[in-house]
Amino acid sequence: MSTTVADGPAAGVVGTRMRRREDPALLSGEARYVHDLVVPGALHMAVVRSPYAHARVTSVDLSGALASPGVAAAFSGAELAGEWSSPMPCAWPVTADMQAPSHLPVAVDEVCYVGDAVAAVVASSQAEAQDAAAAVAVAYEELPAAVDLEDAASDRVLAHSGLISNRAYTWELVPDADAVERAFAEAAVTVRERYVQQRLIPAAMEPRGVCVVPQPFGGEYVVYSATQIPHILRTMLGITAGVPEERIRVVAPSVGGGFGSKLDVYAEELLCLALARRLRKPVRWSEERSEAAQATIHGRGQVQEIELAADPHGRVLAVRVRLLADMGAYMQLVTPGVPLLGAFLYHGVYDVPAYAFTCTGVFTNKTPTDAYRGAGRPEATYAIERAIDAVARKIGADPQEVRRRNFIPADKFPYSSVAGLVFDSGNYEAALDAALELVGYEELREAQARRREEGATRLLGIGLSSYVEMCGLAPSRVLASLNYVAGGWEAATVRMLPTGKVQVVTGASPHGQGHVTSWSMIVADKLGVSPEDVEVLHSDTAVSPLGLDTYGSRSLSVGGTAIALAADRLIDKARLLAAHRLEVAPEDLELSAGQFSVQGSPSSAIGLGALAFEAFTAHDLPEGMEPNLEASATYDPTNFTFPFGTHVAVVEVDTETGKVDLVRYAAVDDCGNQINPLIVDGQVHGGIAQGVAQALFEEAVYDDEGNLLTTTFTDYLVPAASELPSFSLGRTVTPSPSNPMGVKGIGEAGTIAATPAVVNAVVDALSHLGVEEIAMPVTPERVWRSIGASAPGTGGGR
């Protein structure tokens, strides 16, 4: 296991900073999204949504809509109830006794959040459909709403009239309760922290969109959807709408980001399918931005209580965590499981002997939550990284020193964690050292002290976050143990065409990650061709029938591995053919840059391109060999992968106004071997921005009645480049032993690391004033108030 601070080795194209092949089309506007598809005769759908957080639907009068210009049809939930052969799917019933209300695409008699669908209208244009939707008269009888998460957990108000409790499940991971009790009883130092993970609106650049085109005579449906999961969607649409799976083809054209929000099966996808079936016409729907704020899942939404027991030096002896997790109004595809993806990581990068985790999932009358970039792991990392700073403050030690004292040592990998995971590889101290050097930690601490001494009103704060995540979802056996209904494998096919060009079919479904570039780089090196000669086919179930799609930083370590294995199998076959042509034994051949040559007589050689043509003509194949050079592989990972690193945020806090400026940011990440460090940079950049967004800017705010107040970008503050400094990026490389390429995953790391780093920095800036906690997002007003509350008489707020 090697650890360096440079980019990976660059023999061939793998490891080089090749520019993304996807980008010219995306940047020039030539890429086609669902909304861009021209489908003659398509009807446009508009959805009538509940303006109440909780209400009984007493009547739905469609007459106004039906009389509206251009309208083809309009349906209430009751009229559509017969379209569904089962309720909306949840693939992750985390406990055997989990409670979940029935969830239909269109509510029939009770609506449970603002945005819950009550009727659907189709018209010949989107504008006409929207005008007609506004003419649907729905009578509601308002019911009390469970809005606040902790209040909902008390069952004072029930989120669904059919439930006896809002508590959906309680899931525990307590390997040794006595050990935890003992540790807390004997600890010299304990901290007990409460953090709120505010709800976030994923806000992908492209809102959702669906277009379902029925095929003539066949009873088949082509479903175009802005989705991350064409394969899972196909199966779930079939089950829910009662269409045989083989009659559905799902295509995800260019998809403008998802961040987990398109890892779902949505009412509108089912509605378009059902209406296309009923009306025998194409039906399409394009989500609007404000609609997306309430009709697409939210992320986060937890109240966390974390306790650490530590010795006098800050060495952590036990971690105890209690979570309340906001499910929202319904279980979407993996809603209940999101907190569990963090359940194993609340001890973070630290060697902790005792552990207790409990999570209760709670229904509220708000938009359902589900996976959002990091899904459970940002929440876990936030809690432990904030709490470890609390320990450092309590014992008066430098936070980097307390981290160092607790790190899982590099010689303990593979490391069996107290929570039952096996961390594949790591060198946490090396990443910390590199990050501190990159940011200039010692000088910053001196500058911080100087400003404090001078009584400056612009204070400096330095925040650390050392993280590890489990990604590369996931070994199918482990998913079974967590009650997830599917596996975690990925499939790939590699074939050489008669002219020596290469076609790769992947079950991963890119929506911004650059898979076409990365996959073609992997295959180019394997087969000795140029990446431009590799065609990557994806995101169409007719082209790529097998796959489990893209989420959980899985595509490279699982899907990329499947491609590498398929390419190896193709080479194995080509070797037999080459041996046949060159009349030598297969083991006497060596492959280099796409050429098989005979060991010891290099002039006797044949290239893969020529072999592909031979295999295509099939004029002279070895006995029993099938034509064509093609191989498939399905890879089920043996373990998760565990990327890690340390991020350092530097903030200036204006004590007079409370304004926080992020002035410097250094990130050292270790995702194992890198296929394309430029793509890694991009993932880290975007990830950091999204993590900073949670720390300082974004929050889905509800009022007491359950109305979402942040439905436009005027109120929901997504930061832009002007709010962010240039990031200083570094890398260590600790290959994963779990897969042949030694890769880990980088899609979520930045988001996981950044949020606690930034909030730790703000608290660090103000800690000498007694500030220990500021709720996220850390707004100027909250900072101002915390200064006033913590240190009256300092001239700040109150």
Partner 1 sequence: MIPASFEYRRADSVEQALGWLSEDPDSTKLLAGGHSLLPLMKLRLATPGVLVDIGRVPGLSYVRDAGDHVAVGALTRHRDVEISDVARAHVPLLAHVAGQVGDPQVRHRGTIGGSIAHGDPASDLPAAVLALDGVLVIDGPRGRREVGAGDFFRGFLETALAPDEVLTEIRVRKAPRGWAFQKFNRRAQDWAIVGVAAVVNGGARVALVNMGATTVRARGTEEALAAGAGIAEAAARAPEGLEPPSDLQGSAEYRRHLATVLVRRALEEATASGG
Using CB under 8 A, list all residues that contact partner 1. 126-127, 130-131, 288-290, 656-657, 659, 696-697, 701, 709-710, 712, 714-715, 717, 719-720, 722-723, 779-781, 784-785, 797
- 515-527 vs 561-582: helix axis angle to the nearest 10? 30
| Strand order across the beta sheet in which 534-537 lies | 534-537, 502-506, 490-496, 629-635
Pairing of strands 137-142, 55-61: antiparallel
d(CA 221, CA 276): 8
Q: How far is the CB of 712 from partner 1 (least distance, A)?
A: 7
Q: Which is nearer to partner 1, 26 or 720 (CB)?
A: 720
Q: CA 553, CA 534: separation in Å to the nearest integer?
A: 23
CB of 781 to partner 1, least distance (A): 4
Q: Which is nearer to partner 1, 12 or 780 (CB)?
A: 780
Is the CB of 413 or the CB of 697 nearer to partner 1? 697
Question: By three-state DSSP, how is residue 104 classified?
Answer: coil
Pairing of strands 589-592, 727-731: unpaired
Estimate to the nearest angstrom the gap between the alpha carbon of 596 and the chain centroid. Answer: 42
Burial class (CB in 10 A: 0-12, 13-18, 19+), 124: middle
Q: Is the peptide bond before 474 cis (omega within 30 degrees of 0)?
A: yes
Question: Which amino acid, residue 684?
Answer: V
Residue with Cβ nearer partner 1 (353 or 780): 780
Min dist CB 42 to partner 1, Å, is 16
**What does the block give as tokens for 693?**
């967004």
Q: How many residues does the chain have?
A: 798
Q: Beta strands 589-592 and 595-598: pairing type?
A: antiparallel
Q: Hey, what are 318's tokens?
A: 């036990």
User: Of 126 and 632, which CB lies nearer to partner 1 in the complex structure?
Assistant: 126
Residue showing tokens 């290959």: 735
Picking from 546, 542, 473, 538, the residue whose alpha carbon sits closest to that of residue 509 is: 538
> Hey, what amino acid is at 390?
A
User: DSSP assignment, residue 323?
Assistant: E
Rounded distance, CA 644 to CA 688, Å?
14
Measured N-to-C along each axis, helices 608-617 and 561-582 cross at an angle, to the nearest 10 degrees, of: 80
Q: List the beta bridge partners of residue 380.
A: none
Give the residue with the Cβ less far from partner 1, 110 or 128: 128
By beta-carbon proximity to partner 1, the closer residue of 96 and 721 is: 721
What does each C-alpha distance from 670 to 430, 468, 472, 475 come to in angstroms? Answer: 10, 9, 14, 21
Asked whether 31 and 254 are in contact (CB, 8 A), the reply is: yes
CA dist 360 and 88 (Å) reads 22
Least distance in angstroms from the C-beta of 132 to partner 1: 12
Measured distance CA(739)–CA(742) in Å, rounded: 5
Residue 94 vs 459, nearer CB to partner 1: 459
Question: Which of 168, 774 has the CB closer to partner 1?
Answer: 774
CB of 131 to partner 1, least distance (A): 8
Nearer to partner 1, 640 or 697 (CB): 697
**Closest separation between CB of residue 264 and partner 1, Å?**
22
Nearest to 297 by CA among 113, 169, 166: 113
Nearer to partner 1, 626 or 715 (CB): 715
CB 97 within 8 A of CB 165: no
Which residues sit opposite 494 in a β-bridge?
504, 631
Smallest separation, CB 696 to partner 1 (Å): 8
CA distances from 750 to 274, 565, 597, 780 (A): 39, 29, 45, 24
Q: How far is the CB of 213 from partner 1 (least distance, A)?
A: 23
Indicate the residue among 519 and 784 with the shorter CB distance to partner 1.
784
Start-end of H helices in 507-639: 515-527, 561-582, 608-617
In sequence order, which residues have a C-beta less than 8 Å from that of residue 21 and are 6 or more positions away? 516, 517, 520, 531, 532
Q: Please report how close the Cβ of residue 295 comes to partner 1 at its closest, in angstroms.
A: 14
Residue with Cβ nearer partner 1 (385 or 699): 699
CB of 204 to partner 1, least distance (A): 16
Instruction: Give 11 or 721: the residue with its C-beta nearer to partner 1.
Output: 721
Q: How far is the CB of 535 from partner 1 (least distance, A)?
A: 36
